[in-house]
């Protein structure tokens, strides 16, 4: 499988739907008023393992042959994919070897360990993560499940949008976070496949705006030393996901950490739900008006809820 299309996403959903949550869509009259738009929130913060990553990881693991699965799986991740792959590997009773940066949050390290993942720490750079993951694969023989440069991952992530538009087919626009690009690529494949006229938008922090730079220049451009409270979005957009994003996405919005923190706080105070910074950037872009959606019916994917309460001074 190399090309991901709408049928691939439908097949992924059929494969994983009994293992994951069909997450709710929530609304808020107050947030509508503040945004000047009609907002619909797909709450992947209520997903298994606390993020949308469970979708792609489950699809990838369940797609392996018995011989492949018996070798175990491996990946590198700052947290949510690491936890999701560890959990999904447990569904098949196989080991998961996970490379995590030394700066990973304690809550995400604890989650990986709780789901049975075997952690190898590395320096907090993209190159160090890739090199450590390659070494783990050589030493263990495990199958590499890349966090975003994997067709099964992209198809699995697209199932969130498939559910979303199945419930709300009249959305004018759909927006989601972008780091490595698996969720945005999968979302755009589904959205444009079901409704060619819908607007698809990505959102990312200004301290890690490589997708915006790449999108505007039509070639992948990496940001040196990316930094943001949205720690799940510091990855470099993938060479497999970027061509999809460039072809199908309408625009990419950028938001400040201040705006992201305000969005997290709004979810806590107004909707009474926990959304981590990476999961809140779509709404942050709408609230800060860097995504132009005034008067539209807008679907926003809240990608995760693994908020590390030990690292939240920015909420005060």
Q: How far apart are CA 26 and CA 13, in angstroms?
A: 21
Can you state the angle between helices 182-194 and 6-16, rounded to 10 degrees? 110
* DSSP summary character for residue 239: T
Delineate the domains of the chain, giving CATH numbers in brackets: 6-52+152-315 (3.40.50.1100), 54-149 (3.40.50.1100)
Provide the pLDDT for residue 316: 66
Give the count of beta carbons closer than 10 Å to the beta carbon of residue 84. 37
Both tokens of residue 244? 């999809």
The answer to whether the CB of 85 falls within 8 A of the CB of 75 is yes
Provide the pLDDT for residue 313: 62
pTM: predicted TM-score of the whole model, two decimal places: 0.95
Provide the pLDDT for residue 312: 78
Which residue from 303, 294, 14, 42 is spatially nearest to 168, judged by alpha carbons?
A: 42
The dihedral built from the CA positions of residue 217, 218, 224 and 227, taken in this order, carries a sign that is positive
Provide the pLDDT for residue 310: 82
The pLDDT tens digits of the residues spanning 75-115 come to 999 889 999 999 999 999 999 999 998 888 888 899 999 99
What are the residue numbers of the active site? 53, 78
Give strand pairing partners of 143: 73
pLDDT in single tens digits along all 316 residues of the chain: 458 999 999 999 999 999 999 999 999 999 999 999 999 999 999 999 999 999 999 999 999 999 999 999 999 998 899 999 999 999 999 999 999 988 888 888 999 999 999 999 999 888 898 999 999 999 999 999 999 999 999 999 999 999 999 999 999 999 999 999 999 999 999 999 999 999 999 999 999 999 999 999 999 999 988 999 999 999 899 999 999 999 999 999 999 999 999 999 999 999 999 999 999 999 999 999 999 999 999 999 999 999 988 877 667 6
| Strand-strand pairing, 25-26 and 38-43 | antiparallel
Instruction: Give 3-state DSSP helix, strand, coil % of the chain, rounded to 5.
Output: 50, 15, 35
At residue 264's C-alpha, the angle toward residues 260 and 270, to 5°, is: 135
Cα 235 to the chain's mean position, in Å? 11
Q: How far apart are CA 205 and CA 214, in angstroms?
A: 14
The answer to whether the CB of 177 falls within 8 A of the CB of 202 is yes
CB neighbour list of residue 294: distance below 8 Å, 6 or more residues apart? 36, 37
Give strand pairing partners of 299: 40, 174
What is the 3-state secondary structure of 178-235? CCCCHHHHHHHHHHHHHCCCCEEEEEEEHHHCHHHHHHHHCCCCCCCCCCCCCHHHCC
Provide the pLDDT for residue 311: 78
Provide the pLDDT for residue 1: 43
Both tokens of residue 291? 């995504």
């Amino acid at each position: 499988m190399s090309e991901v299309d709408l049928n691939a996403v439908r097949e992924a959903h059929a494969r994983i739907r009994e293992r994951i949550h069909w997450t709710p869509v929530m609304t808020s009259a107050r947030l509508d008023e503040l945004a000047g738009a009609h907002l619909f929130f797909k709450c992947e913060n209520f997903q298994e393992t606390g993020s949308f990553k469970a979708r792609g990881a489950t699809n990838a693991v369940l797609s392996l042959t018995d011989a492949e699965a018996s070798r175990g799986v491996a990946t590198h991740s700052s947290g949510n994919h690491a936890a999701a792959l560890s959990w999904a590997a447990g569904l098949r009773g196989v080991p998961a070897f996970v490379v995590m940066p030394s700066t990973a949050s304690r809550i995400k390290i604890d989650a990986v360990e709780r789901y049975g993942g075997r952690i190898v720490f590395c320096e907090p750079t993209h190159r160090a993560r890739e090199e450590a993951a390659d070494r783990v694969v050589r030493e263990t023989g495990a199958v590499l499940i890349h966090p975003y440069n994997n067709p099964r991952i992209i198809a699995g992530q697209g199932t969130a949008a498939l559910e979303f538009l199945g419930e709300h087919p009249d959305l004018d626009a759909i927006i989601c976070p972008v780091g490595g690009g698996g969720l945005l690529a999968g979302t755009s494949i589904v959205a444009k496949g079901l409704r060619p006229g819908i607007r698809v938008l990505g959102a990312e922090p200004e301290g890690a705006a490589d997708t915006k730079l790449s999108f505007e220049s039509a070639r992948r451009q990496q940001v040196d030393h990316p930094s943001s409270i949205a720690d799940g979005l510091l990855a470099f957009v993938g060479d497999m996901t970027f061509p999809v994003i460039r072809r199908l996405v309408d625009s990419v919005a950028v938001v400040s950490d201040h705006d992201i923190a305000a969005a997290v706080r709004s979810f806590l105070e107004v909707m009474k739900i926990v959304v981590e910074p990476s999961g809140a950037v779509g709404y942050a872009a709408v609230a800060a008006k860097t995504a132009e959606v005034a008067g539209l019916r807008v679907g926003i994917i809240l990608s995760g809820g693994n908020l590390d309460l030990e690292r939240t001074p920015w909420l005060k």
